Amino acid sequence: MAVYRLSVTLDEPVDETLLNQALKTTVKRLPYFAYRLRRGLFWFYLEQQEGVPRVQPDAVNPCLPFSPGRDGHFMFRVRVHDCRVAVEIFHVLADGTGTMTFLLTLIAEYLRLKNGNRIPAFAPYILDCRDKPKPSEWEDSFPVYARDAARPRGEEAAYPLRGTPAERDYLQVTIGMMDSGRLAAAAKTRGATINTYLAALILQALVGIAKEDKRKGLAKRPVKLSMPVNLRKYYKSSTLRNFSSYINVPVYADYGDYSLDDIITLVKHSMGYETAEQLINARFSSNVHAEQSKAIRPVPLVVKSLILRMMYALTGERYFTSVLSNMGRIDLPEGMRGHVKRFDFIIGAGRSNPLSIGCVSVNGQTYLSFSRTIKEPEVERRVLSALIREGVPVVVESNRRINR
């Protein structure tokens, strides 16, 4: 999930000149987004740079890795096509909350320039560009709230989803669009929230694939769905920097057959346990302790990078099969609501896991995106088909290239 994307589709084609003006004003209000990642002798660090990236034409292939030649040294880009404005961003800079704030503040400023009507600040995502930047918005909140107790980093390796590698640097995206009310009703019938319900449907699809997998021994590993947790729900932080943790929800495919209700029960219990503040804190505190370790602090960066890669291998993607990140329902102010036709949330390719899933809801519609680096669309086929069987009609879009 190094790069991800949030986009909004407006009710008329975007004026690129006005959008560039709005971008300059938005970056002045949120200067942290113009920072670059620098390599020091002992550590990477963030450094502010002058200027603002120009709006780029959008492309059918989202979430390309950042390159100095195309993006300067900025860690975000703004892309536009017809009525759509997209922000693609490097995850080290901001999490979904920070990026949604940047995008909607940008859209509010654009609509002011376009229509002459200022949209007032609207919590939690729209800021007033006339206000000055606040230091609390750029706070690194992890060390502020970390405690001494830490959870062990290691856990059981997850079942690895595999398939035929897709074209290099081309992210396969499938988006399922559905009525939020119908989705909520289907979840309620099962006694679940939308987030729990979608997680269970995805796990059910992955368990089915694992059971059919002929690779020796791999089906004995638990299928795990990783789900980000917004730490602002636990702590009084107003940072727009990355301030999220995660939980991994396991289901053991080889233990027997599971109904959807069985998996919903497992998801409820796992989420109820893992999202306890004490456990969440101990998880991210272990990362803070590693960063602050006196043993690693003076080590040259070239050596430190090797150490951190080893730590990532021990605690990273091998411990989950896929990821579901749900931004939830985005409430918009009256002056913006009528101009916004849809949202999309697309997660870029992971280092080794070939499938990520993003979800966002706005104006009564839910958009569920599957992004993958393998050709087989098996997971989304199973999930979206299950939704239809559950009484939730789905409209499907894809950027799939024919005969590739």
Q: What is the pLDDT of residues 304-328, one digit of tens each?
A: 455 555 555 445 678 999 999 999 9
Residues 202 and 123 in one domain: no
In the DSSP assignment, the letter for residue 78 is E
My answer on whether 106 and 216 are in the same domain is no
pLDDT of res. 313: 47
pLDDT tens digit sequence for 196-232: 999 999 999 999 999 999 887 888 899 999 999 999 9
Q: What is the mean pLDDT of residues 269-284?
A: 96
pLDDT range class, residue 41, cuts 50, 70, 90: low
Other Cβ atoms within 10 Å of 395 Cβ, number: 11
Longest pairwise C-alpha distance within the chain = 64
81-113 pLDDT, tens digit each: 999 999 999 888 899 999 999 999 999 999 999
Task: State the Cα–Cα distance between residues 100 and 293, nearest whole angstrom.
Answer: 33
Asked if residue 97 and residue 187 are part of one domain, the reply reads no
Domain count, the chain: 2
- Shared-domain flag, residues 271 and 341: yes
The reply to whether 81 and 185 lie within a common domain is no
d(Cα 145, Cα 260) in Å, to the nearest integer?
37
Tell me what pLDDT residue 253 has.
95
Residues 262 and 121 in one domain: no
Please report whether residue 158 resides in a domain. no
Which is nearest to 210 in space by CA: 252, 156, 245?
A: 252
Q: How many helices (H) and strands (E) does the chain have?
A: 11, 14
When pLDDT is averaged across residues 132-138 and rounded to a whole number, the result is 95
Is 142 among the domain residues? no
| Residue 190, Cβ density class (10 Å: 0-12 exposed, 13-18 middle, ≥19 buried) | middle
Taking all residues of the chain, what is their mean pLDDT, rounded to a whole number? 90
Q: Which domain covers residue 95, as residue numbers?
A: 3-129
User: Tens digits of per-residue pLDDT, 71-84?
Assistant: 668 889 999 999 99
Same domain, 56 and 111: yes
Phi and psi dihedrals of 238, rounded to 5?
-110, 20
Nearest residue to 207 via CA among 7, 382, 40: 382
Q: Is the dihedral of CA 249, 253, 259, 265 positive or negative?
A: negative
359 domain residue, yes or no: yes
- H/E/C letters for each residue in 296-343? CCCCCHHHHHHHHHHHHHHHCHHHCCEEEEEEEECCCCHHHHCCEEEE
Which residues are 396's β-sheet partners?
176
Residues with Cβ within 8 Å of 356's Cβ and at least 6 positions away in sequence, in order, are 1, 322, 323, 325, 347, 348, 349, 350, 370, 371, 372
Residues 342 and 214 in one domain: yes
Are 53 and 192 members of one domain?
no
Q: What is the CATH number of the domain that holds 113?
A: 3.30.559.10
179 in the same domain as 315: yes
Closest CA to 291 of 42, 2, 40: 42
Which of 129, 162, 184 finishes a domain? 129
